[in-house]
């Protein structure tokens, strides 16, 4: 097969555990140019950068201009070094790379209201200069300017790679926030965020036990569900909103938890179990009306056996499978997405996000940044 590219895709999601990066080729004579991942890695943020990022996000407010500029530079350097590290480890020369697609790190997402905005930091122009590779970034702006939510974008790749031969298929991404792509056999797609996936689970175990995440959902599995607390959480009107909709940790955070539960919160382990059930319930409630033939799961939550067990109980008779069953490692789906979007942008192909984000028209996603001197 003659490969196209390769391209590098990079993202740090709402879990903020580091930069996921993949170098990807798109063989021209494979179905849908199905991507070949030539190398991939997750490069954690240095402790000082992670602490600075956490401090900015903990305010629950739009970052100040000073904080934004500092993080934009520092994150860009980390993203650029991640790309170069990946290429070195994969044995791919920088001169062979067609482009880098860098989503950056979301630090503010407020798609509703009179002044919608989604802010990703990690300056793509600086990445292009540092790596010497054409870089595509700022993927969400054009969609928001067209009246869309700017997110989720993953359904675009899911439509290209995973559409079913018959019936309906759902692709579920369990990152910090959960989102679904609803794929029909005729090639149509819709998609939206469903609410928290891992973000509240991570935040609560970090506060209570100093651990970054609940490994395999073991702590949640040892707790007891509090049905009354779950009912109060699910009563938030956000869950009942129809799509298109998107959200982030600006909304679903420990302050939200305190507001919803007040002084009625269960014991620590029981609250973790209840938060896991919240994710399972909100995801299942979003998926069930589409009666899919199967659900393909990707993102970090695919490794949370307790969460998948809870989800399976709420979707009896619906097979839950990893995207690996269809040829793509669930850890790297979002990194592949931004490699694919960079490829689409360089080819000048506009994307139809109308059924996903609510944009008024098709949009050309991303801005292209050339290396210095090119």
Q: What CATH number does the domain containing 92 carry?
A: 3.30.420.40
With tokens 């402790």, the residue in question is: 47
Question: If pLDDT is split at 50, 70 and 90, which confidence band does 72 have?
Answer: very high
The Cα 369–Cα 366 span in angstroms is 10
Backbone angles phi, psi at 51, to 5 degrees: -65, -40
Do 363 and 310 lie in one domain? The reply is no
Cβ-contact 94, 133 below 8 angstroms: yes
Mean pLDDT of the chain, nearest integer: 94
Taking residues 25-51, what's their average pLDDT? 89
* Interatomic CA distance for residues 342 and 323, integer angstroms: 22
Non-local (6+) Cβ contacts of 48 within 8 A are none
Give the closest residue to 311 by CA, choosing from 161, 321, 218: 321
Q: Is residue 2 part of a domain?
A: no
Residues 6+ apart with CB under 8 A from 62: 108, 110, 117, 119
CB-CB contact of 86 with 131 (8 Å): no
Report yes or no on 69 lying in a domain: yes
Same domain, yes or no: 131 and 222: no
Q: Are residues 321 and 336 in the same domain?
A: no
Residues 100 and 181 in one domain: no
Domain match, 107 and 204 both = no
Percent of the chain with pLDDT over 90: 89
Apex 324 CA angle, 247 and 245, nearest 5: 15
Distances (CA, A) of 122 to 78, 118, 143: 8, 13, 19
What does the pLDDT read at residue 216?
96
Per-residue confidence band for 55, with pLDDT thresholds at 50, 70 and 90: confident
Report the pLDDT value the prediction gives residue 1, as an integer from 0 to 100: 39
59 and 120 belong to one structural domain = yes
Write down the pLDDT at residue 31.
65
Quick one: pLDDT at residue 344?
96
The confidence score (pLDDT) of residue 29 equals: 64
What region, left, alpha or beta, does residue 223 occupy, with left being phi > 0 and alpha being psi -120 to 50 degrees? beta
Predicted pLDDT at 60: 79
294-298 sheet: strands from edge to edge:
189-196, 177-184, 168-174, 294-298, 320-322
78 and 193 assigned to the same domain: no
**Residue 1: inside a domain:** no
Q: Range with the lowest mean pLDDT among 53-67, 85-99, 165-179, 207-221?
A: 53-67
Say yes or no: 23 and 35 in one domain.
yes
Note whether 103 and 198 are same-domain residues.
no
Q: What's the pLDDT at 57?
A: 83
Nearest alpha carbon to residue 349 among 337, 335, 366:
366
Number of domains in the chain: 2
Domain that holds residue 146: 7-150+332-369
Instruction: Dump pLDDT digits (tens) for 174-216.
Output: 999 999 999 999 999 999 999 999 999 999 999 999 999 999 9
CA distance 248 to 200: 11
Q: So what's the pLDDT on residue 4?
A: 67
Dihedral of the alpha carbons of 84, 89, 93, 96, in degrees to the nearest 10 = -90
pLDDT at 219: 98
- Give pLDDT tens digits for 219-277: 999 999 999 999 999 999 999 999 999 999 999 999 999 999 998 899 999 999 999 99
Same domain flag for 126 and 205: no
Q: Are 97 and 80 in contact (CB under 8 A)?
A: no
Is residue 288 scored above 60 in pLDDT? yes
Same domain, 247 and 353: no
> In the predicted model, is pLDDT for residue 372 greater than 90?
no
Q: Does residue 270 fall inside a structural domain?
A: yes
pLDDT at 14: 76
CA gap 291, 279 in Å, rounded: 19
pTM for this model (two decimals): 0.95
End-to-end CA distance of the chain: 30
Assess whether 127 and 159 both reside in one domain. Answer: no
């Amino acid at each position: 097969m003659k490969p196209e590219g390769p391209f590098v895709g990079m993202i740090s999601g709402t879990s903020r555990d580091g930069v996921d990066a993949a170098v990807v080729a798109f063989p021209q004579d494979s179905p849908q140019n199905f991507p070949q991942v030539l190398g991939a890695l997750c490069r954690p943020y240095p402790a000082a950068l992670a602490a600075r990022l956490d401090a900015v996000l903990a305010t629950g407010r739009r970052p100040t201009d000073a904080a934004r500029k500092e993080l934009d530079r520092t994150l860009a350097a980390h993203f650029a070094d991640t790309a170069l590290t990946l290429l070195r480890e994969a044995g791919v020369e920088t001169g062979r790379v067609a482009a880098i697609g860098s989503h950056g790190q979301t630090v503010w997402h407020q798609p509703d209201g009179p002044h919608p905005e989604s802010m990703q930091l990690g300056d793509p122009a600086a990445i292009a200069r540092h790596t010497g590779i054409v870089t595509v970034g700022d993927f969400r702006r054009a969609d928001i300017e067209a009246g869309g939510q700017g997110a989720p974008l993953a359904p675009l790749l899911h439509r290209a790679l995973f559409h079913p031969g018959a019936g309906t298929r759902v692709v579920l991404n369990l990152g910090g926030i959960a989102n679904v792509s609803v794929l029909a056999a005729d090639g149509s797609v819709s998609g939206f965020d469903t609410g928290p996936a891992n973000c509240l689970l991570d935040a609560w175990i970090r506060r209570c036990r100093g651990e970054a995440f609940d490994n395999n959902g073991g702590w949640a599995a040892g707790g007891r569900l509090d049905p009354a607390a779950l009912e109060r959480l699910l009563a938030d009107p956000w869950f009942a909103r129809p799509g298109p909709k998107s959200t982030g940790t600006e909304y679903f955070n420990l302050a939200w938890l305190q507001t919803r539960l007040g002084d009625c919160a269960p014991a620590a382990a029981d609250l973790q179990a209840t938060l896991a059930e919240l994710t399972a319930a909100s995801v299942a409630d979003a998926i069930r009306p589409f009666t899919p033939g199967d659900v393909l799961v990707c993102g970090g939550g695919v490794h949370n056996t307790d969460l998948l067990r809870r989800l399976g109980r709420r979707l009896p008779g619906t097979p839950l499978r990893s995207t690996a069953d269809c040829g793509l490692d669930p850890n790297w789906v979002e990194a592949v997405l931004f490699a694919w979007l960079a490829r689409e942008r360089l080819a000048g192909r506009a994307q139809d996000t109308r059924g996903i984000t609510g944009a008024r028209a098709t949009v050309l996603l991303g801005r292209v940044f050339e290396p210095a001197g090119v």
